[in-house]
Structures are given as structure tokens and as C-alpha cells.
A and B are shown apart, each in its own frame.
Chain A
């Protein structure tokens, strides 16, 4: 890693010796076994690794949705473990955007209303909320699908609604767990272009889990997971 580049930048999030154990006793499952990772403001990181290697677990911790068993998690130099539930909720509300591997959209709720939801909790007024949610849907290629509910949308379309919901607040950190997992190559490339422009034009830091080398090409840095550990962490040679 070129040291010069790092000193110019400020760390946004930092994991220090994070472990995560599910269950206890003989049934205990060590999903993360001491992960240390620093991600600076403005980075675009791809996380790769085999299934079950702890990628989603790590993303959930970065997204303040789950708490580490051991180790520290710093968000802008603040230790997340020392925050109250409400403070963590406010952190999610104002600084984080999350695209879930399983979408997690509200059932029987239109695409537009789903995308509006984070803006409601931010206290954005109705008109502005509507137009911003509409724009976000248009960005992911879902103009004209505003009033369809998740049940009326394909998996790929639902995934794009989930992406729109994550980016509509223009968060400081966008965490995307396999955002192109359900999309065809053409759509995937479109989404990657979109994420790249977010990263470059608005300085949004992105951490993205992906299985596909093609998608990882869009990121500056690739972190490889295996058995709950980071095995390689390298800057992408062929940045586009």
C-alpha cells in the first residue's frame, strides 16, 4: 500500500481485532476470528471470499446492525461499542446506507414508499422526499415502477429498489452486500457505473461484497476473506 496516499486521507472506519462468535459451547461458530481493517474516507473497497467466510458478518458489524464479540470498531474515531442503542440508530440514520443481501424491503409497500422511508426518519418534508425518492429510483433504472410493491417486482428489480433506498440519503458510508447478485451482466455494469460515480463525484465511501471479479474491478481496493480472516488486502492494479 502506498503510504503517501494514506496519510492524506482520514480514516472513516476501523476494525481492530474484531471477532464474532455465534452460539456457544460446542455449537459455537466463529464467523470472524480477529479482523483488523481500516477504510479511509472516499475509498471504494470490494470484499471477496468464499461463501461462509464472514463477509456478511463483517458488513453487519460495519453497518452497526450487529455488535462484535471482541475487538473494537471505530467510526470516525468514535468507538461504536461505547455508544447507546439510540446513538447507534442515529449513526445509521445519518451516516450509513445498507444494501442487504436479502433486500429487506417492506412488504405490500410501493417502491417509492420503501425508498422514502430513510428520508422520513431524517425528517425530510413530503415534497422533497417524493422527488428525491423518485430520482433515486430513476438512477437505478426503475422510473415508472414507483407504485409497484416488492411482490410485483422481479428479484433484480427488488435489488435495485434496495440500492435506491441505500443511496437516497447520500450516506457517508455505503455498505452493499452483493448488490449485483441478482442482476444480469448489463444491469450489473450499470449499477457499478452508478456506484463509481457516487464514489468519485460525491465522495461517498463504498464497501461492497461481490463474488464476481468483473465487479471487483470497479473498486480501488480488494479485501479477500477466508475462514473469518482477511487473507489479502491489495490495491487494484487496473483501476478504471
Chain B
């Protein structure tokens, strides 16, 4: 009997191609919209989170000058190496400190040249900014002290100047001097703010001061705050110490600024999450619209189907046989639509995440939810009108207008 009913249901589906197609379409749209939106939102959030991790933990950036409004800073004396050492010495929460200065230069190798930023650093920079040297090595103490012409380059610079070649131990020109490449940084990709993090050349700070800037100035000090210590407390300690060292009296404003990059990035994560929620809401609406579509089709066909039910009952079908047929029909249509929706959504998500350059994260939970919702709509609106009809006397079902 079950086989017979299944067979009858399939026959009805085939017989009403348009109705079946529209039902399936509603489910496909609902299911795939939800899955695609949620997958994209999830991918974007994951990317931001990953970038926060790559920034280094508990990073504070200390810059010269007072922030005066968008893009403006007032002139003020630079930091020097002593400032950096004092910070490290006096504030116990600081685990690593990285003084640096940078400038735009043109790097030249053979016929290739590439405009990039060169930054003078010491080895603390690698720790603070979470950089890994993928090939070669960091600077030696002797190189740092003597200001040797050596450099570590980022992946973008390596690609632009050397292509497929191995840049290690080659010499390239940086402005007016040539330096030997001793290390290659592991690629980090785009930053949360959209700039290329791998477009950089690192040289020892002393080398930078002697050969490029020609002065002792340090424009940026980055510090790591120990895990579990408050960055706010560290921030105020730094401000206090630097005000003292720079002889700023009580009523004057700071002529430097301490920024907690993590805060900004956290804000950005918040934005991404809002975006994800928004996408989810849009998706939920499409699911609802799909559901209403299915509902309409099912309800519209009730008149015709009530007569069909009447005929079946008159010929000797049991109420439960008729119901089973309608249930099987609804389940087959809904599952079919759901499966197509999932397949469509997965391929669309893979394509879109590739295009938007965000990771594709497989999320089975949302697939199950979207599928169950559509299936429920299909089954409920396919089944309940049928149940109402199947409970009529055959003659009343036949007379139904």
C-alpha cells in the first residue's frame, strides 16, 4: 500500500509540472538565499577575526604629534631610542617594544623597480607585529649595532622585484645604497583597512637613520602589552611616562598619541557582525517570501484537489491513504527543492567568496535550518488543506466549488 501511495504521489507531481515547478522554485529561492547570505557573512567575520589575530596581541601604537582632526597632526619633537628603552624598563606590563621609522623609497633590482616603504626596526618589531620570517633570518645583534646594509623583505616586494626567483642573498638598491636580502617575511595579505601588509622592506634602525633619514628620529613606537594585563592601564602609564620625559606640564595637551589598534579592529568586527545580522534578516525575508509562494500555490490548488480527493474517496480510497499521498507529494517536492537549493547555494557561495576574497566556511547548521523551514512550509500547506478535504463526505468533496 505504501508503494502504491508513493507511486500515486509521484504521478501527481509529474502530472502537475507547473505547480510542482513553482513549489520547488519557492523552496529553492528561500533555501539558497539564506545559505548564501549566512555563508558570506560568516566568511567576512572569520576574515576580520583572523586579521585581528595577525596584528599581534595587545598592540599599542605610539605616534608623535597631536591628532587635530581628520588627517592632521601638529608638529612635535620625535621620539628617540631612549624613549623606547625607558618604556620597556619602567612599565612592567610591556613585554616587547619596537621603535621604528619609515619612509617611501624606490627599490630596484635588475630592470625591475618598485615603490615601497622602508622601515628601520630592531628585532622587537617581529614580536610586536607578529611577523614570521619564512625564509632566511632576522637581524643579528652585530648588524643592528653596526647599521649594516641588510634587509628583510615582504612577499609583495619579493614578487614585484624577483618574480619566481629566490631573493635570498641577492643585493637590491634602496634609494641611494644597496643592501643584501637576508630574510623573507611570511605573507599576511590585505589588512582590515584594505592596504597591502606585505608591501614593505625592513632594515636595521641604525641603517635607516644613517643611510635614509640622516637623523636619529623615531616616529613610531609599537609595544606589546602582556596577556591578561589591561591595555587601558598600560596606555595611561605610557602617557604619564612620556609626558614626563617630554616635559609637558599639567595644563598642556599631549604632543603624541597612544592608539589601541585592537579597539579599532574590534569595532570593525562589530560592524561585520551587524552586517551579517542584516544579511541574515534579508535572507529570512526571502525565505518567508519563498514560503508564502509555496503557500499560495498549495492553497490555490485546493479547489481542484478537493474534487480529486472526492473522486478518490468515492472510488474507495481511505482517508489515510489520501493523506499519505498528499504528504508524500509535499515531502518529495520540498526535499527535492531543498536539495537543489543547497547545491545551488554551495556553488554560489564558493564562487562569491572567491570573488570577494573571503574564506568559504561550510555551515551545515544553517543548511539544516533553511531546509527544515522550507520543508515544513511545503508539508504544512500541502497537507492541512488536504486533510480538511479528506474529512468531508465524498459527495461534499465532489461538489466543492
Contacts and interface: CB of A to CB of B under 8 A. Distances in A.
Interface of A: 60, 63, 65-67, 85-86, 89-90, 92-94, 96, 98, 100, 104-109, 113, 117-118, 120-123, 165
B316 A65 contact: no
A111 B395 CA distance: 22
Nearest to A85: B319
A106 B308 contact: yes
B308 A65 contact: no
A65 B1 CA distance: 23
Nearest to A110: B15
Contacts of B312: 117, 121
The 5 closest A-B pairs by CB, nearest first: A93-B316, A92-B316, A66-B395, A65-B395, A65-B394
B313 interface: yes
Q: Which of B11, B310, B315 has the largest number of chain A CB atoms within 10 A?
A: B315
B318 A104 contact: no
Contact of B393 (A67, A94, A104, A107): A67
A104 B311 contact: yes
Contact of A65 (B15, B307, B393): B393
B282 interface: no
Contacts of A108: 15-16
A98 B16 CA distance: 26
B398 interface: yes
Contacts of B314: 63, 65, 92, 98, 100, 104
A108 B314 CA distance: 19
B319 A93 contact: no
Interface in B350-401: 393-395, 398
A90 B315 CA distance: 9
Interface SS of B by simple majority: helix
Contacts of A67: 393
A88 B313 CA distance: 10
B264 interface: no
Contact of A89 (B8, B317, B395): B317
12 contacts: A85-B319, A89-B316, A90-B318, A96-B316, A98-B315, A100-B314, A108-B15, A109-B15, A117-B311, A117-B312, A120-B4, A121-B315
B304 interface: yes
Interface string B205-221: 00000000000000000
A89 B313 contact: yes
Q: Which of B11, B307, B316, B321 has the largest number of chain A CB atoms within 10 A?
A: B316
Given A89-B319, A121-B315, A123-B4, A107 B398 contact: no
Interface of B: 1, 4, 8, 11, 15-16, 304, 307-308, 310-319, 321, 393-395, 398
A90 B393 contact: no
Contacts of A86: 318-319
Given A66-B395, A90-B316, 13 more contacts: A63-B314, A89-B313, A89-B318, A93-B317, A100-B398, A104-B311, A107-B308, A108-B16, A117-B315, A120-B4, A121-B315, A123-B4, A165-B315
A205 B391 CA distance: 30
Nearest to B398: A104
A123 B4 CA distance: 8
B8 A120 contact: yes
Contacts of B304: 107
Contacts of B16: 108
Contact of A121 (B307, B321, B394): B321
A92 B312 CA distance: 11
Contacts of A93: 315-317
Contacts of B317: 89, 93, 121
A122 B4 CA distance: 10
A208 to B, nearest CB: 18
A31 to B, nearest CB: 12
B1 A104 contact: no
Nearest to A94: B316
Contacts of B1: 123
A66 B312 CA distance: 15
Q: Which of B15, B304, B319, B394 has the largest number of chain A CB atoms within 10 A?
A: B394
Nearest to B313: A89
Nearest to A117: B315
A65 B313 CA distance: 9
A186 B319 CA distance: 40
Nearest to A92: B316
A67 B393 CA distance: 8
B303 to A, nearest CB: 12
A81 to B, nearest CB: 13
B191 to A, nearest CB: 62
A230 B8 CA distance: 42
Nearest to A64: B394
Contacts of B308: 106-107
Nearest to B314: A65
Nearest to B8: A120
Contacts of B394: 65-66, 92
Nearest to A119: B315
A122 B16 CA distance: 25
A122 B319 CA distance: 15
A65 B394 CA distance: 5
B71 to A, nearest CB: 71
A129 B119 CA distance: 88
B395 A106 contact: no
Contact of A66 (B8, B15, B319, B393): B393
Nearest to B396: A66
A162 to B, nearest CB: 10
A23 to B, nearest CB: 13
A89 B312 CA distance: 10
A62 to B, nearest CB: 12
B311 A121 contact: no
Nearest to A113: B11
